[in-house]
């Protein structure tokens, strides 16, 4: 069951971005599982991919095709086409060939993406057979169907859409994401697709996306597992009346902030839908020497099964958080300087139980659906945030039954 408000938003059309869906029956027949995205000829496209060494065949193909000014995305759910060797590569290329033939374009203009079970061959015949319908269904106002077509164990479709004003011109940013388990993106099973009508070069768009992803999708974790298929794509159709965005300008600064907001909202939606999640936990690490150290401490807490199960039980067992901080591998950590809070309740002060702490106060916070954990290291002036969720009985059930 998802945590908090997870209503799908009103999705603004991004001029020059067309989306079509169809059902190929790859794993199920209840909803569409294939998505065709087509970009205006003036569009630019940026992407980041998983750092898992066993990256999926579509990731390898997409990385190569990204250098060829792509104009199409092809996404399927239900099968990851990962751990499939040379045949997987052939199938990924074949899917690009099939879309390119229908679009009367080159195969290298297509970026393929897959999500689902690992180690099984992609049913390429089913995928190819569904493409004509997806092509016929292409339209600009099809974001809701697109969000549903990329889902696997997700319990709700994830979307973001907003219009902003830059230098007196309207700019639209709309995006979707999927993911609920095997989540510890490290670029980034998660996928994210964001589109804007702004005009921006591929090089500048790539820089913008890389910055946004580092502070959003790379700051979430459900279970500490980095998928073989993680990817995030940012498309810019160039159809806004705003002049081309250039580095070191106020317009670029505002655009970067907007892409950051979109990425953070889509990333948070993934954590709210963490497999079996009942709580959203935001871990803030402050007064660190640098960002890497802060993220290291935050993720050590976020990945601890003991911490996560305590949150599920609403048990204010703060010793588990203290222990996680202590084993995070921080060099020359002075425990006497550490303070830890649950929301505004101080649980640890000067490395020990805070004199003001009461079990009643801790319990009140732990009973909440959304909880902030703040760790003050007393070593510097850098802060970072990581989002995670609890571990419930359902997490084990969902993953134990994943292939059945």
The answer to whether the CB of 269 falls within 8 A of the CB of 263 is no
77-89 as b/e: b if 16+ CB within 10 A: bbbbbbebeeebb
- Asked if 358 is an active-site residue, the reply is no
Q: In the β-sheet with 191-196, what is the strand arrangement from edge to edge?
A: 44-49, 231-236, 191-196, 169-178, 158-166
Whole-number Å distance between alpha carbons of 277 and 275:
5
Query: Which residues are CB-contacts of 96 (< 8 A; sequence separation ≥ 6)?
Result: 61, 65, 74, 107, 108, 110, 112
> What token pair was written down for 185?
């993106």
Whole-number Å distance between alpha carbons of 387 and 279:
11
Whole-number Å distance between alpha carbons of 372 and 284:
7
> What token pair was written down for 63?
């990385």
CA angle 155, 312, 293 (to 5 degrees): 95
Three-class DSSP category at 22? strand
Neighbours of 27 (CB within 10 A): 16
CB-neighbour burial class of residue 367 (10 A; exposed 0-12, middle 13-18, buried 19+): exposed
Catalytic annotation, pick one of 172, 189, 196, 388: 189
- Residue whose pair of structure tokens reads 């073989």 in the numeric block: 228
**Distance, CA of 35 to chain centre:** 18
Q: Tell me which H or E stretch contains 372.
A: strand 370-376
| H helical segments located in 7-123 | 57-65, 85-103
The DSSP-derived string for 146-214 is HHHHT-SS-SS-EEEEEEEEETTEEEEEEEEEE-SSS--------EEEEEE---B-HHHHHHHHHHHHH
CA quadruple 218, 221, 224, 230: dihedral, nearest 10: -50
Tell me the catalytic residues.
189
């Amino acid at each position: 069951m998802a945590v908090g408000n997870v209503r799908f938003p009103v999705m603004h059309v991004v001029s020059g971005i067309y989306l079509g869906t169809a059902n190929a029956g790859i794993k199920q027949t209840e909803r569409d599982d294939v998505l065709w995205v087509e970009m205006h000829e003036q569009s630019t496209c940026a992407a980041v991919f998983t750092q898992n060494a066993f990256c999926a065949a579509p990731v390898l193909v997409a990385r190569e095709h990204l250098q060829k000014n792509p104009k199409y995305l092809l996404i399927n759910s239900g099968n990851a086409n990962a751990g499939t060797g040379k045949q997987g590569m052939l199938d990924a290329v074949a899917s690009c060939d099939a879309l390119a033939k229908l679009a009367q374009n080159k195969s290298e203009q297509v970026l393929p993406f897959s999500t689902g079970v690992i180690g099984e061959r992609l049913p390429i015949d089913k995928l190819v057979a569904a493409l004509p319908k997806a092509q016929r269904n292409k339209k600009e106002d099809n974001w809701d169907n697109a969000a549903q077509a990329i889902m696997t164990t997700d319990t709700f479709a994830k979307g973001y859409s907003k219009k902003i004003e830059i230098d007196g011109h309207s700019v639209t940013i709309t995006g979707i994401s999927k993911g609920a388990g095997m989540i510890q993106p490290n670029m980034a099973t998660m996928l994210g697709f964001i589109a804007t009508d702004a005009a921006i070069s591929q090089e500048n768009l790539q820089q913008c996306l890389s910055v946004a992803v580092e502070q959003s999708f790379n700051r979430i974790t459900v279970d500490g597992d980095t998928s073989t298929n993680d990817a995030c794509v940012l498309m810019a159709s160039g159809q806004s009346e705003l002049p081309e965005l250039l580095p070191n300008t106020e317009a670029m600064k505002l655009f970067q902030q907007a892409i950051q907001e979109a990425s953070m909202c889509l990333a948070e939606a993934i954590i709210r839908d963490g497999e079996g999640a009942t709580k959203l936990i935001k871990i803030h690490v402050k007064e660190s020497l640098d960002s890497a150290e802060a993220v290291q401490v935050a993720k050590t807490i976020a990945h601890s099964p003991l911490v996560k199960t305590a949150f599920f039980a609403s048990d204010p067992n703060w010793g588990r958080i203290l222990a996680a901080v202590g084993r995070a591998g921080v060099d020359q950590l002075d425990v006497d300087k550490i303070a830890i809070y649950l929301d505004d309740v101080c649980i640890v002060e000067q490395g020990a139980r805070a004199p003001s702490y009461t079990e009643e106060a801790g319990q009140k916070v732990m009973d909440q659906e959304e909880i902030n954990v703040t760790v003050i290291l007393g070593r510097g002036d850098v802060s970072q945030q990581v989002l995670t969720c609890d571990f419930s009985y359902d997490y084990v059930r969902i993953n134990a039954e994943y292939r059945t």
